[in-house]
Amino acid sequence: MADAFIVDAVRTAGGKRGGALADVHPVDLAAQTLDALVERTGIDPKAVDDVIMGCVSQAGQQAMQVGRNAVLATKHLPESTPAVTIDRQCGSSQQAIQFAAQAVMSGTQDVVIASGVESMTRVPMGSSAMFHMKEGLGNYKSPGLEKKYPGVQWSQFMGAEMMAQKHGFSKDELDRFALASHEKAKAATEAGAFDAEIVPIPIETPEGEKMHTVDEGIRFDASLEGIASVKLLSPEGRITAASASQICDGSSAALIVSEAMLKKHGLTPLARIVDLTVTAGDPVIMLEEPLFATDKALKKAGLSIDDIDLYEVNEAFAPVPMAWLKHVGADPAKLNVNGGAIALGHPLGASGTKLMATLLHALKARGKKYGLQTMCEGGGVANVTIVEML
């Protein structure tokens, strides 16, 4: 089977809910990221066979095929460029990477952009379901689902609490993990570690237009005392908003091409895709599947966890990467080395290509070889992508 190569991956800096990116329409936010990717790589826009865009809340300003609308809003991509919008919940744009790679590896397409967008300010999480429920238009949980899972609430928060209890993590351990995320993100920002991956987005401020280039969610003055003081989300639980990912606005994109297109367009790849894995398990605890998906991915790739130089495990909630480390036997020093979603934000459909941008540039900066990315997803699904730097 042919190889698939990632030429570059970029992301916007995260915007807090109601923050720096709140006034940017998600279509235009995604379009600016697509344009930046085309400009940075130098790919002929007419050569792009498809754009695959992840987006979870496909309603309101993200309705009516946000991927296609973003292409139409770009400066560079021609009207003839196809696009599709996909939803694998939090792993939507990681799945976009895997679909793009599969297209290239199969030989059916040669140049594909994987991408994602989510404006959680403009299209609140869950609004695509809640609006219809409030209007009396029915519940997404069908009679068939209710019969199979009677009385079950599909809740990532409940799944996170279940994981914390199952794996024996105390509130203090969760809080300390959250603090480390902010500390790593602060250090990375101050060292310029994100500069190579961030697409500057022009925003209007009271002082005039400026470029948004710094992740708004990072608490540069974070302390254990401050994090520990945040109210529990459940009186009997262990998780607080401080040990969960932040609501975030953002977009991201990656260019994936065949070997023939590397030569034809004079492109220099960052990495080769080694393995594409997706698995599914318990939909109630929901967030635990990355543990088992990683086992399968490593076996398929013929690698051990010790072979992997850096890992990006999405910090949807602190128990997820903590349980992943414990289960896989991974080195904590290689995990989310520039911080994770607890500090940087989790823009749902944009997080997959966002994490890939961070992983690739972190590997490049350190001169390392193998990277692994995984994240938990609604419904008990998980993607794992392994890359080899070139």
Question: Could you list the active site residues?
Answer: 90, 346, 376
Helices (H) and strands (E) in the chain, counts: 13, 12
Cβ-count burial 337-369 (b if 16+ within 10 Å, e if not): bbbbbbbbbbbbbbbbbbbbbbbbbbbbeeeee
> CA 107 to CA 8: how far, in whole Å?
20
**Strand pairing report for 271-280 and 370-377:** unpaired
Supply 29's token pair. 């936010």
Strand partners, 240: 232
92 forms bridges with which residues in the sheet? none
Dihedral angle sign, alpha carbons of residues 305, 278, 182, 8: positive
Ramachandran angles phi, psi of 138, nearest 5°? 100, 165
